[in-house]
Amino acid sequence: MEDRRSFLKKTAAGLAYLGLASTIPIDSFAKDDTVVLTILHTNDMHSRIDPFPADAGKFAGLGGMARRAALINQIRQQEEHVLLLDAGDIFQGTPYFNYYGGELEFKLMSEMKYDASTLGNHDFDNGLEGLKDKLPFATFPFLIANYDFSNTILKDQFQPYRIITRGPLKIGVFGLGIELRDLLLERMYGNTRYINPIEVAREMVQELKQKKCDFIICLSHLGYKYSTDKVSDCVLAKEVAGIDLIIGGHTHTFLDEPVKLISPSGEPVWINQVGWGGMKLGRLDYVFSKGKKREMTKTSSLTIR
């Protein structure tokens, strides 16, 4: 037995040196009960089904949903506990949306087995009717906590949050959207009522903590940062305690690595966003050890080409 332990330790050390350690389950050689959670995410895809065309300048040849699906499948084969999330603006930007109205986007994301998305302002570009008509093609939930659809045809169509289990971990995910009045014609969103995202986020954190979540993620379409006092991901991180990770959208911000801010409770809050058009896939790896202590061990913004 001692020889086996020694062999596993030496094997792990050697693989780590070669950069291959991720291909072997960490439980094979970990001394404690360690769990690795891999979070993959996208935002502002804007109906980019195909790679960017050859005349797209610096974006030429990048992206494409088929390539993204292949990359996601590869990571899922390598890692045991994977989440796949999106931060909104799935619709609008190519003729695919003009012709299919979002059906194709939802079908492809469903095939990729997204765990959740939030809503972006462009997801209302065909109005409440257009969005409702395409929802049956999505097998994943849309999470939005600060839009009240009670007086619209979308009443009871969405959830404010979802709790996802990966191994021994409970991950709470909730969604926040930007104020639609500033961005859309009123007929597109009708009687949808916007609620202050700061207040709602505090309520969501309290709810998810009461439900014993080990990790809390906000899917945000508020935007990364503004020169005004408009609510953004950075404002949210500084004003709301208890959020561990904000996956953002709307401002098409390419972050090479996640940004760390400090919440009112003194805890770190990480923010990440991967531009637009499906050119990149965000990846964040967290290691949870005994007592559910966590540490971010790997970050990458994977270019899809």
pLDDT of 35-77, one tens digit each?
999 999 999 999 999 999 999 999 999 999 999 999 999 999 9
pLDDT above 90 (res 30): no
Q: Do 58 and 206 reside in the same domain of the chain?
A: yes
Mean pLDDT within 243-268: 97
**Distance in angstroms (rounded) separating the CA atoms of residues 110 and 120:** 18
Residues 15 and 75 in one domain: no
Verify that 6 and 112 share a domain, yes or no: no
Same domain, 152 and 58: yes
Kindly state whether residues 21 and 37 are assigned to the same domain: no
- For position 72, what pLDDT does the model report? 98
What CATH number has the domain bearing residue 112? 3.60.21.10
Could you list the residue range(s) of the whole structural domain that residue 128 is in? 32-303
| Same-domain status, 9 and 49 | no
- Residue 230: its pLDDT value, please? 96
Same domain for 40 and 176, yes or no, is: yes
Angle CA 221–227–228, to nearest 5 = 80
Task: Examine the domain organization and report whether 107 and 252 are in the same domain.
Answer: yes
pLDDT higher than 90, residue 240:
yes
How many structural domains is the chain composed of? 2
Residue 193: predicted pLDDT: 98
Residues 80 and 9 in one domain: no
With a cut of 70, say whether residue 26 has pLDDT above it.
Answer: no
- Buried/exposed code over 73-84 (b: 16+ C-beta within 10 A; e: otherwise): eebbeebebbbb
Note the residue count of the chain. 305
Based on the domain organization, do 102 and 117 belong to the same domain? yes
Find the mean pLDDT for residues 267-293.
Answer: 93
Predicted confidence at residue 5, as pLDDT, reads 39
